[in-house]
Structure 1
Amino acid sequence: MLNRGYAYATIISSKCHGQTLLSYLASLYPHSTPQVWQQKLNNGEVTLNGVIATGSESVTSGQTLIRNRPPWIEPDAPRHFEVLLDDPHLLAVNKPSGLPTLPGAGFMENTLLRLVQKHVPDANPVHRLGRGTSGIVLFAKTPQAASSLTANWNTPKTQKIYRALAQNVAEQDVYEILTPIGRVPHPRLGSVWATNPNGKPSKSLAKVISRSASTTTFEVSLNSGRPHQIRIHLASIGHMLVGDPLYGVTGQPLESLPGVPGDGGYFLHAEFLKFHHPITGEQINLEARLPSGFPLHQ
């Protein structure tokens, strides 16, 4: 089934001032060649300040560029989720692996946000999980709840605990990981988040739950909220997630044909979330049961 299409909006930055629109599009979105972009322009899919563009225009700082993507058939994704908490201010669900939290990367309707908003139109996620990550996603239904939860999200007032299955046998029982996370080059996307000495400060605490002959199951608590933090941090200490198609040793993209952030195949589950209710002050302790395919013992 076709979705409704999507309008991607961009404001032209000053560093691109004077480029032709075609060269701007081809450099900003290298996933398509200049020839493909010219065809999209010829089809009337791109406007510049509300006027259908040809591609020969010189762009000016501050202009609004809109690319209207025609409706398309989205990739399949799981569409079921378990409701863990539902009250006038909050909604918490157990997201399946393979379902994106937010629209993007070819997914618009097959996303947790769209599915939830069909039933609760005012619900908006306080955070997001990667498409391949399962577990608790918390939504706010009111601006007051959203403001309070967002303010406390990356503080000790909110406890976020994940379960991760990683390669190799851990030598220690506990690891405090402080590896900075920032953008690094990626051959298909231009850049991705990974270990970067000039990146943002990040902190995770990984405790061993169990070991097998070749793997370790960790319980990981987050003290910061960087993209793909657990995948990057565990890889940075030599414990890449089992099945992770993107991150290799040291938390950098794999040297040979790395995947992209949305690719699945790894085992990471947001299992526990503990916080005080933003309106009532009540202590909330949420637990999302592990998915059936999550290995308990290797």
Structure 2
Amino acid sequence: MNFASLKRIKVADNPENIEEEEDDLYEHLTIKADPGQTLMRLDKFITLHSNYSRTKIQNAIDTNSVKVNGSSVKPSYKIKPGDAVNIYVAKPPKEPTEVLPEDIPLHILYEDDAVLIVNKEADMVVHPGYNNWNGTLVNALVHHFDNLPTSKNGAIRPGLVHRIDKGTTGLLVIAKTEFAMQHLAGQFADHSTERTYYAIVWGEPKEDKGTIDINLGRSFKDRRVTDVFPEGDHGRRAVTHYEVLKRLRYVSLVKCNLETGRTHQIRAHMKHLGHPLFGDPTYGGDKPLRGNMFSKYKQFVDNCLQMLPRQALHAKTLGFEHPTTKKWMQFDSEIPQDMKELWEKWEHYVQYN
């Protein structure tokens, strides 16, 4: 008789609307074959050691959402003793949940039968949650599109495979079919997508470019906040590659590429670097942090904060493999007007002061 050790990795349910935490939208299952395992087809092995349907297993294999020893394999692969099988599948509905459709305009950059690219505006929550049951991107999606696939809690997150924070603007890919959702979820899970953000941060980073590779996790003091754990004793590994594009003495324009997608990753990493995002109330960016604190300067900063009362963060580019054509898709979006005006205001201030 063959046995397999099975570990189901649970990710805490989070009712808050948070930035770039894809991990709780899908389930990660690890199955390790024991030393006595006889050769067995991959799909049969997963069927024996999981509760997933054959259709779901086949979809996961077809979309490269199944890895054996860290690598993609053919469906005909035979499991051997010691093999570690990792499966990523969209989480099944927990209970029926109704989302009311709302006629909210969407800025759609691209659409086909499988995917939809949306450029989200500031202050739009991505999905319904605590204190934000209406006016969300999901409410708009269920109005404009029928039969979107669901990833969690029934209809509460139709089409979503990733998300960005309420105050962050920029690009999101929406899945229009179950197959597309599974394929895209696998890409976000194995970090094969490309995501570039533009941020205006306080001060001037010492290096022109660098990598922040520090664990992130929920703060022990406030679960709404993400903390850094440099010793790696808590949280999960988070990697952000950054490059300073422009410097204005008091603030800098920074490009950030995400290798992982953790909660508030850019915001927490840049704060740890000593350069929190301008206007970010959660991570200390909503008050003057650079410059002489004379009244004229403080008034200027207050005016800037009123101009952009959110974190200055924009999801500018998004790249992924198309679920059906297998072609690489790359999308770019304009920096929003409020961030442009903020930068121009700082340029004018630095020039004349």
The reply to whether TM is greater than 0.5 is: yes
Matched, 1:119 2:164: no
Cross-structure match for 2:113: 88
Deviation, 1:269, is 0.4
Deviation, 1:274, is 1.1
Cross-structure match for 2:181: 146
Cross-structure match for 1:102: 127
Is the Cα–Cα contact under 8 Å of residues 191 and 260 in structure 2 kept in the other structure? no
SS in 2 for 1:157: coil
Is the Cα–Cα contact under 8 Å of residues 167 and 242 in structure 1 kept in the other structure? yes
What percent of counterpart residues are identical?
Answer: 28
Instruction: Please report the TM-score for the alignment, with normalisation by the length of structure 2.
Output: 0.56
Cross-structure match for 2:236: 200
Matched, 1:169 2:204: yes
Aligned counterparts of 2:207 and 2:189: Cα–Cα separation in 1: 26
Letter in 2 for 1:193: T
Letter in 2 for 1:195: V
Q: Which of residues 180, 188, 199 is equivalent to 2:215?
A: 180
The root-mean-square deviation of aligned C-alpha atoms, in Å, is: 2.4
Deviation, 1:170, is 1.7
Matched, 1:271 2:316: yes
Letter in 2 for 1:289: E
Moved over 4 A (4+): none
Deviation, 1:148, is 0.8
Deviation, 1:289, is 1.5
Cross-structure match for 2:268: 232
Unaligned runs of 5+ in 1: 1-28, 30-65, 72-77, 250-263
Deviation, 1:287, is 1.1
Letter in 2 for 1:122: N
The 10-residue stretch of structure 1 (117-126 or 206-215) with the greater mean CA deviation from structure 2? 117-126
Cross-structure match for 2:43: none
Aligned counterparts of 1:104 and 1:159: Cα–Cα separation in 2: 27
Count of aligned positions: 209
Letter in 2 for 1:99: M
Is the Cα–Cα contact under 8 Å of residues 225 and 282 in structure 2 kept in the other structure? no
SS in 2 for 1:294: helix
Higher helix share: 2
- Structure 2 CA distance for partners of 1:79 and 1:119, relative to 1, 3 Å: closer
Cross-structure match for 2:245: 209
Aligned counterparts of 1:191 and 1:234: Cα–Cα separation in 2: 17
Aligned counterparts of 2:259 and 2:215: Cα–Cα separation in 1: 13
Deviation, 1:192, is 2.8
Cross-structure match for 2:36: none
Unaligned runs of 5+ in 2: 1-14, 16-94, 149-158, 286-308, 347-353
Letter in 2 for 1:239: H
Report 1:2-81 matches (<5 A): 79-81=104-106
How big is each residue's C-alpha offset from its partner over 1:128-172, in whole Å with a ceiling of 9 and x where there is no partner? 110000000110011111111111114453100000000011221
Aligned counterparts of 1:122 and 1:217: Cα–Cα separation in 2: 40
Deviation, 1:190, is 5.0
Deviation, 1:288, is 1.7
Is the Cα–Cα contact under 8 Å of residues 179 and 236 in structure 1 kept in the other structure? no
Is the Cα–Cα contact under 8 Å of residues 183 and 196 in structure 1 kept in the other structure? no
Letter in 2 for 1:192: V
Is the Cα–Cα contact under 8 Å of residues 185 and 191 in structure 1 kept in the other structure? no
- Structure 2 CA distance for partners of 1:191 and 1:160, relative to 1, 3 Å: closer
Is the Cα–Cα contact under 8 Å of residues 115 and 175 in structure 2 kept in the other structure? yes
SS in 2 for 1:136: strand
- Structure 2 CA distance for partners of 1:290 and 1:101, relative to 1, 3 Å: same
Letter in 2 for 1:206: Y
